[in-house]
Amino acid sequence: MKQTAKGAAMRKPTKENYPEVCKVRVQSTPEEISHFHELLDRCEELGLCNVINFSEIFPNKGTSRYYRAYSDIMLRMEEEDE
């Protein structure tokens, strides 16, 4: 089955499971998108966020230079003292 951007969006988390999810669309060269994915992985290792998913890289229509990828990220916020 062919992977599409619409298919990636269909595999999104529900609000019940992840109430505070940051949805990110990255548009750049494949190398820069891969670097961004590595940065997210490092942030997750440091406990700054939880990367729920990161789509494959899709080509943009009308250009051969730029691509896009989608990600769902749950940021981990520190509890504020009252």
Domain count, the chain: 1
Confidence of residue 18 (pLDDT cuts 50, 70, 90): low
Q: How many angstroms separate the CA atoms of 51 and 61, rounded? A: 27
Identify whether 22 is part of a domain: yes
Phi/psi for 21 (5° steps) reads -100, 135
Specify the residue for token string 């990636």. Answer: 8
Asked if residue 56 belongs to a domain, the reply is yes
In a domain, 37, yes or no: yes
- CA torsion sign for 38, 20, 68, 53 is positive
Let me know if residue 6 belongs to a domain: no
What pTM, to 2 d.p., does this model score?
Answer: 0.69
Look at 20 and 18; give whichever has higher pLDDT.
20
Structural domain boundaries, residue 68: 17-75
Helices (H), 1-82: 5-10, 30-45
Assigned domain for 8 exists: no
Give the residue among 25, 2, 1 at the shortest CA–CA distance from 12: 25
pLDDT reading at 7 higher than 60:
no
